[in-house]
Amino acid sequence: MISLRSAIRRLARDHRTLLSALVSAMAFHGTLLAAGTFRRTYDAYVHIFFADHYARGWFATWEPRWYTGFSVTSYPPGTHQLVALGSRVLGLEAAFVLVQLAGILTLVVGVYRFTLLFGSRRAAGYAAFLAVLSTSIAEAVHVFGQLPTVCALGLLLNSLPFVRRWTLDGGRRSLAAALSMLAGTTAMHHVTTLFGAVFFIGPVVVWSLLDRLRQPHPKEGPGRAARVTRATIVPLVARRIRRVYRSVGRVAVLGMASVVVLLLVVWPYWVWSTTDPIAQVPIPHGSRESFLEDLNAGLVFWLIPWASVLPALPYAVVRGLRSHTWPVLVSILALAFLGTGGTTPLPRMLLGEAFEILTLDRFTFWATILILPFAGAMAADLVDGPLAKRLVDAVGRSTLHVLQAAGVLALVGGAAFTVNLTQFRKMQPAPIAPAPIVSFLEKDQHWRWRYLTLGFGDQMAWLSTQTSAQSVDGNYHSARRLPELTSTPVERLEGAKFRGVPGLGSLQQFLGMPERYHLKYVFSNDQFYDPLLQFSGWRMLQTLENGVVVWEREDVPPLPGATVEPEPPTVYRVMWGILPLAAILAAALGAVSSFGPKSGGLEVERWARLDGALGRLADRMPAETGPTRSWKDPIRLLSRRFALPGSAIKMTLVTTVVGSVTGLVVMTLPAAHSPAAVVVAYYDDVDFKRFEQAWTRLDEESRPSLDEYLLQLSVEDGLVDSYASLDSIGIVDERIAGTRAQVTVDLVYVTALAEFRVEERVDLIRGDGTWGVVLPPVDPTEPVERLARRAEIEFVPQGRRSVTTANTEYDDVLDRPELEVSHLRLVLRDGRPALLGMVENIDVDPASLTVTGALLDERAELMATYNATHVVEHSLLPGESTPFLIEFEGVAGRDTGDFQAAAFTPIDLAGEVAAAHLYAASVVTGRGLSRPVTVQRLTVTMSGSAPVLDGELLNLGPKDVTVTALLVSLYDASGTLVWVDWVIVPEAAKPGRSVSFHSALTESGRLVTHDVDFGLNVNGLSAPVRQAAVPAGAVPAPAGSGYRWIAVQPVVFERATR
Amino acid sequence: MDRRAAGGVRKGNKVRRLLTVSTAAALLLALGLRLDPSPTPVQAFGLTVETPARSRAGESLTVAVRAPGGGDAEFGATFRTAYRAYEVSGRLSNGAASFLAPAQATRAAGVLDVVVRIGPFAATSSTVVAARAVSTIPVPFVGARSIVAGESDRSMAVVIPSDRFGNPVTSPAPGLQVRYPRGEVQTFELTNASSLLWAWIPSSTTAGRALVTVASSAGAGPERDLLIVPSDPTHVSFTADTPVRRADGVSFLELTTSAIADNFGNTVLDGTAVTVTTISGTGHRSVQRVMTFGGVARALVEMPDSAGPFTVEVTAGEAHFSQVLGLEGIVAEAPPVSVDWAGPLGVSLVVGPVVSEQGMPVPDGTVVTVESGDGAMARGWTLDGTAQIEISAELHSGLLVSVGGFVIEVRS
């Protein structure tokens, strides 16, 4: 047995450059990983979460903590199980670092071994060094946190020499080594095996077969055919077949064995994928964008991975075309082309539906690895090879050394830039300490409910590893099964805002019907979602030590004590727990073995009869003289006619110059100076918080000082100013008169509540040849009261809590406040059903409401159920009432795959609605009871056929009212409630200040009352529907509106101190 | 036979002998065990068990077991109470045994069955275990926690008196004593229903905290609260804070309601919602929700910017009060209006100085509105008595400037 010391000694003697590269990799990547770069990556914590799963239960395949449960057989477990094993000693994070580092080292060795197939050890050594400094690998490891991809590719590359050896010469040890490493690859990342067979193994096999085709058979006769004739065709074909048939047979054996290995190692995965196929709306990914339009995507998914090896691409083209390695070149070009994503339509056409599922950056990643042998050869040439000699002749030795040093610096700089990319461009929120959240979940058995994180990025996976509590969300989108998730292009609910309206629509459904998922707690690290939580009936509970705000929804039932975990049969679980790790162990043994002796004797005997027959046919070749024709002759002719630049140096230079010029042109495009362009640029600057730049776009004559401008901006607040991101700007109108201009812009903001459109008129003045924006005048008024005094009542529903180690009682030990429901109606607006009415808290305790509607058909079967989400006041004072409206929404985006702008998906009802049931429930609450806003100066006028509501909100409370929603109840002449509109006032109202609002209301012609039987259930008991009058303060509706009274009730969101 | 073969035979004989001796030893051991002298088999037919017919919870209970044929034997005994069973074992000596029942088995009131078994034979006996006297005066369970004042509403009290072992004791039934908010004490008879004692507690006309307790000959037990809350408010009125009411559009009028009370004079609880509505002379309405504190609600109402009648309505449940106030204007005369600039994109107007009757500039923030003939509207505020307003309209279509009830027409 070879000892480790002797192995290292042999490595140092025969493969010194590889050893140096490995040491460099450990120093570079190892140090960075140990320093925690993986914590800022996209996927590292997901893999750690999976590892945590195996650490908790090795043979368990059901993971209940995400997505209401999913099967981990949906992802090959190799690397995760390795981390889980290591975590027993080192902990999860250190074990992850160790496995990731092992993967990188395996990859470097793989690159070295693969490059050895091409030629010299020097080139292989340079390739290994290039792998260490590869921006592609650096990005995959330190930006994307790709553990399985890196590890699996390392094993795949290590298998290639054995594949070639087996194809050329046979040998059971070569076959065993190749298969063991393919098994290990599959155990880690089956996709690498699948695509690797096409893009890595395929070219090597073709290359090997071509080599074998060119090499004469040992018993081949001396005859040659100068040209193909009727007499020579049979011997020629027989000769070629005789040269390759054994190799072809071996390839077939390898192919079949590989398929068996691929199936066997992760058999439960294949079973899962057939019984539970992934049927989801594709999730957008930057790698599928056009890199010319989305420059950020181009930077991350194309330029950075290619940066360290792009200059080698022309070299690879020239060298590949001139050598037998052209199959590898073809593979590189194909991968590079597929990696360009949506820049051209061709990858989409080639990949078909798979285009929308695959993340195409992996093709670029593979291309940048596959090209490393050429890059290594180029480096060797540039150091002291033919290229270096030519450069010395052309520019002198000193310049060459400067160029070489610059090249090394560029490589090191590129790698350093890439590993620090997450520092330059924040891709994750600041680190969040999970301990306070874990502590909260453990306290008072809060784990009995599900939770949801918002604004955590991939750290939600790290939180999940720390607790056994369950989340409705998750970080592994392939495992999503809830239709609310799979029908939307939303990877995670916690980052819903990054998917615009569809993402928020999906989140709204979860927050609006939390009891369906036993969702009681939301941990928010992003105040963008605060308005949505507030208006959906969630109440801020506390701010934890780590700054995360806990929101709670009252009256949500806990998870059932026992849940069914759909585990597969025991044999599958045992296979899943044993086979992948066994495959990795076998791969490790195979990887450390060197090339074994070939054993082809048996095969000659086995195929002796066929060999003899082919030999006899081949020997019929007549002996001729003259030049030999080759199948490549026409290609050579073409290449002479359409000559490419004569050398790799020229091609590299041309590529560099063209690229640089293009970049310069793009960067120095002249800025547009029209009024509309100035306005667009101004809003763009404000949206991206480039306030100084925005200030320079103001009219110089009238603009305030920069400090004053910044002050004015800082006091602006509201839904649009504080909780929105600008989605688009459209120019509605542009009018220019002399030195004055007016631009009307249509601003579309995405907020957590809904898409929000604002049409604004902007005045501009031209001075010194440029247009400047004129700021609207600032409100000059001052608060009337210098010191305002306000009395507030606070409620503390403390139940019967006592200091005890036993379980504390829950809030519901207090009697549920009594409710009365009136005006219950089922109305169709534009054909969509909506259940509406009034709920009054007739109790003396304040109540938190949950109002659920259900539609039933003639057979009393449930057709649809939904909650009153936004259109209700969820917290009611004693004696207070609220209108409510339940719009029965379908699963968001189920049919269309996308949302309408209003983020509402109409429900598809099968049959006629015969009855509607309402379930109103209440618990005593002490939150959400502030009523600081007065609605004043209310007027209703007609604009066309629609009534228009105007008025002001006056804030008489002590806090800023950031967002106000108006519940506008519309009554007919008989005093019956016929509709409830929901109007958002986006501007904040500061204490003592007022803001105005203006909104068109629903036209009465759009409403049709649907007569059905009503059922009412209040706090679990059947109750009658009461009659109630029009509430106090209702405004008479204008004639022709179709209404008689209009009542307005404000629901407020007061900014909390965070 | 050579020596090696002979040695092999000898070794084989030794092994055989060893096996034979071991087997014999094992048989002897087994026989020895069987030959251990056993007691005389008991004649279990006619097995009887005796226990006292009556007992009290926690009292020692003697069990006598007899087998007519005499002899010794192991027996098992099961003690079945209403809650669970207890198993014990014992041994008959000369066909008889006497032992005490396990202490836990005697604590539960009800029927205690004793079953004794010997092999296939069994005998049973039953004892009625009576509960002991009530150990402590029980705490009543009261629900609903709050009821509405006015005698028509009621709550329920449930009492479960028990002895020191937790056995319900329904006799003699204690009384339920309720001390109402006004101080009067009423005692209610508790009804027995399946070991539970219960009684209705009617409401009183006075709201407040009633105290419910169980009273027996040993005294009164711990108290429980019952809230008697006011019923729907029926009476409300309000007063305004100042006799001078100017329609300046910026200052506040503070309204204080009277104590809001129900039909029995009970003031409503803190936090009860009250709606305050105002209607200005121009028909503009405002709606404000406030809550009561000490039975009284306060509301701040912003003054309208036009003089004339100003209606204030206060609503709390069924209670409603309305009053019309008169407001004075603050602008003394129509202010001058000049055009700062005008063009196809709009007009900029300077309105002012706007002065009060005292000849002083009106308060900052006094609202000035401009309307054009084609429907465009702009709003501004005075600063030091002057307002500058831009409107996206053309001057030739005519503009109407409104401030403090004055309307000024502006034309090119």
Give yes or no for residue B228 having a pLDDT over 90: yes
Residue B335: closest CA among B394, B386, B388, B300: B386
Which pairing describes strands A450-454 and A70-71: parallel, antiparallel, or unpaired?
unpaired
Who has greater pLDDT, A506 or B299? B299
Among A161-170, A935-944, B301-310, the minimum mean pLDDT is found in: B301-310
Q: Is A782 on the interface with B (CB under 8 A)?
A: yes
Who has greater pLDDT, A248 or B68? A248
Q: Is A778 on the interface with B (CB under 8 A)?
A: no
For the segment B109-133, the average pLDDT, to the nearest whole number, is 90
Length of chain A: 1058
For the segment A285-292, the average pLDDT, to the nearest whole number, is 82
Give yes or no for residue A278 having a pLDDT over 80: no
Tell me the per-residue pLDDT of A102-153, one tens digit each, with 9 for 90 and over: 999 999 999 999 999 887 888 999 999 999 999 999 999 999 999 999 999 9
Q: State the Rg of chain A over Cα.
A: 35
Among A70-74, A621-625, B362-366, the minimum mean pLDDT is found in: A621-625
What CA–CA distance (Å, rounded) separates A898 from A893? 5
Residues of chain A positioned with their CB less than 8 A from the CB of B277: 1032-1033
For the segment A433-438, the average pLDDT, to the nearest whole number, is 94
> What are the C-alpha distances in Å from A427 to residues A403, A457, A458?
34, 8, 10
Q: Is the CB of B250 less than 8 angstroms away from the CB of A781?
A: yes
Q: Give the pLDDT confidence score for residue B39 in this predicted structure.
A: 43
For the segment A189-208, the average pLDDT, to the nearest whole number, is 89
What CA–CA distance (Å, rounded) separates A522 from A553? 9
B contact test, residue of A735, A838, A844, A1048 with most B CBs within 10 A? A844
Answer yes or no: are the C-beta atoms of A935 and A951 closer than 8 Å.
yes
**pLDDT band for position A63 (cuts 50, 70, 90):** very high
What CA–CA distance (Å, rounded) separates A67 from A474? 6
**CA max distance for chain A:** 115
Give yes or no for residue A250 having a pLDDT over 80: yes
Burial label for B197, CB within 10 Å (0-12, 13-18, 19+), is buried
For the segment A633-648, the average pLDDT, to the nearest whole number, is 54
Tell me the per-residue pLDDT of A772-794, one tens digit each, with 9 for 90 and over: 998 887 776 677 777 877 778 88
B contact test, residue of A734, A841, A934, A948 with most B CBs within 10 A? A934
Tell me the per-residue pLDDT of A929-960, one tens digit each, with 9 for 90 and over: 989 999 998 989 998 888 999 999 999 888 88
For the segment A671-679, the average pLDDT, to the nearest whole number, is 78
For the segment A328-346, the average pLDDT, to the nearest whole number, is 90
Helix segments in A668-702, DSSP class H: 675-687, 691-696
What CA–CA distance (Å, rounded) separates A306 from A286? 16
What CA–CA distance (Å, rounded) separates A156 from A114? 10
Q: Is A998 on the interface with B (CB under 8 A)?
A: no
- A147 dihedral zone (left: phi>0; alpha: psi -120 to 50; beta): alpha
For the segment A206-217, the average pLDDT, to the nearest whole number, is 84
Who has greater pLDDT, A626 or B108? B108
Q: Give the pLDDT confidence score for residue A583 in this predicted structure.
A: 94
Q: Give the pLDDT confidence score for residue A201 in this predicted structure.
A: 92
**pLDDT band for position A169 (cuts 50, 70, 90):** confident
Q: What does the DSSP 8-state code read for residue A1041?
A: S
What φ, ψ does residue A624 adopt, rounded to 5°? -130, 165
B contact test, residue of A781, A845, A927 with most B CBs within 10 A? A781
Q: Give the pLDDT confidence score for residue A628 in this predicted structure.
A: 55
Q: Is the CB of B345 less than 8 angstroms away from the CB of A845?
A: no
Give yes or no for residue A976 having a pLDDT over 60: yes
- A128 dihedral zone (left: phi>0; alpha: psi -120 to 50; beta): alpha
What tokens does A856 get? 């039933």
Residue A963: closest CA among A724, A725, A795: A724
What letter represents residue A963's amino acid? Answer: V
Among A694-698, A1040-1044, B40-44, the minimum mean pLDDT is found in: B40-44
> What are the C-alpha distances in Å from A708 to residues A426, A637, B380?
30, 74, 21
What tokens does A255 get? 């192919």
Residue A1033: closest CA among B290, B104, B204, B189: B290
Give yes or no for residue A453 having a pLDDT over 90: yes
**pLDDT band for position A598 (cuts 50, 70, 90):** very low
Residue percentage of chain A with pLDDT more than 70: 86
Q: Give the pLDDT confidence score for residue A597 in this predicted structure.
A: 40
What CA–CA distance (Å, rounded) separates A1005 from A1041? 9
For the segment A192-201, the average pLDDT, to the nearest whole number, is 88
What CA–CA distance (Å, rounded) separates A110 from A18? 10
**pLDDT band for position A514 (cuts 50, 70, 90):** very high
Residue B46's SS3 state is coil
* Mean pLDDT, rounded, of chain A: 84
Q: What share of chain B is helix, strand, coil (3-state, %, to 5)?
A: 10, 50, 40
**pLDDT band for position A603 (cuts 50, 70, 90):** very low
Q: Is the CB of A935 less than 8 angstroms away from the CB of B287?
A: yes
| Interface pTM, i.e. ipTM | 0.70
Question: What b/e sequence results for A771-794 when a residue is b if at least 16 CB atoms lie within 10 Å of its CB, and e otherwise?
Answer: bbbbbeeeeebeebeeeeeeeebe
Give yes or no for residue B203 having a pLDDT over 90: yes
For the segment A82-99, the average pLDDT, to the nearest whole number, is 94
Q: Is A739 on the interface with B (CB under 8 A)?
A: no
Who has greater pLDDT, B243 or A81? A81
What tokens does A1040 get? 């022709």
Of residues A785, A793, A935, nearest to B270 (C-beta): A793
Q: Is the CB of B271 less than 8 angstroms away from the CB of A780?
A: no
Answer yes or no: are the C-beta atoms of A925 and A795 closer than 8 Å.
yes
Tell me the per-residue pLDDT of B335-389, one tens digit each, with 9 for 90 and over: 999 988 887 778 889 998 988 877 888 877 788 889 887 777 888 888 888 988 8
Tell me the per-residue pLDDT of A313-333, one tens digit each, with 9 for 90 and over: 988 888 888 888 889 999 999
**pLDDT band for position A390 (cuts 50, 70, 90):** confident
Q: Give the pLDDT confidence score for residue A204 in this predicted structure.
A: 92
Which pairing describes strands B246-247 and B319-329: parallel, antiparallel, or unpaired?
parallel
Among A43-57, A437-451, A633-647, B60-74, the minimum mean pLDDT is found in: A633-647
* Mean pLDDT, rounded, of chain B: 84
Of residues A846, A879, A1033, nearest to B316 (C-beta): A879
Of residues B251, B300, B364, nearest to A780 (C-beta): B364
**pLDDT band for position A440 (cuts 50, 70, 90):** very high
Of residues A782, A938, A1035, nearest to B364 (C-beta): A782
Of residues A779, A793, A954, nearest to B293 (C-beta): A793
The DSSP element (H or E) to which B30 belongs, if any, is helix B3-34
- Quickly count: other Cβ atoms within 10 Å of residue A210's Cβ: 15
Q: Which of A868-877, A909-918, B329-338 has the highest mean pLDDT?
A: A868-877
What tokens does B220 get? 């009164």
Measure in Å the smallest separation between the Cα of A684 and chain B Cα atoms: 25
CA angle A594, A599, A601 (to 5 degrees): 165
Measure in Å the smallest separation between the Cα of A947 and chain B Cα atoms: 16
Q: Give the pLDDT confidence score for residue B363 in this predicted structure.
A: 77
Residue percentage of chain B with pLDDT more than 70: 92
Give yes or no for residue A9 having a pLDDT over 80: no
Give yes or no for residue A624 having a pLDDT over 70: no
What letter represents residue A907's amino acid? Answer: I
**pLDDT band for position A837 (cuts 50, 70, 90):** very high
Residue B63: closest CA among B90, B39, B31: B90
Among A463-477, A551-565, A616-630, A813-827, the minimum mean pLDDT is found in: A616-630
Q: Is the peptide bond before B144 cis (omega within 30 degrees of 0)?
A: yes
Q: Is the CB of B284 less than 8 angstroms away from the CB of A938?
A: yes
The DSSP code sequence of B186-213 is: EEEEPEEETTEEEEEEE--SS-EEEEEE
Tell me the per-residue pLDDT of A714-761, one tens digit each, with 9 for 90 and over: 777 777 777 777 888 889 888 888 888 889 999 888 787 777 788 888
Residues of chain A positioned with their CB less than 8 A from the CB of B291: 793, 877, 929, 931
- Lookup result for tokens 């009936």: A537
**pLDDT band for position A416 (cuts 50, 70, 90):** very high
Measure in Å the smallest separation between the Cα of A672 and chain B Cα atoms: 23
Query: What residues contact A823, with CB distance under 8 A and at least 6 apart?
Result: A836, A837, A838, A883, A976, A977, A1028
Give yes or no for residue A364 having a pLDDT over 90: yes
Q: Give the pLDDT confidence score for residue A898 in this predicted structure.
A: 43
Give yes or no for residue A649 having a pLDDT over 90: no
What CA–CA distance (Å, rounded) separates A253 from A419? 42
What tokens does A785 get? 């009261």
**pLDDT band for position A689 (cuts 50, 70, 90):** confident
- Lookup result for tokens 């560029």: A410
Who has greater pLDDT, A779 or B43? A779
Residues 326-345 on A with a CB inside 8 Å of B are none
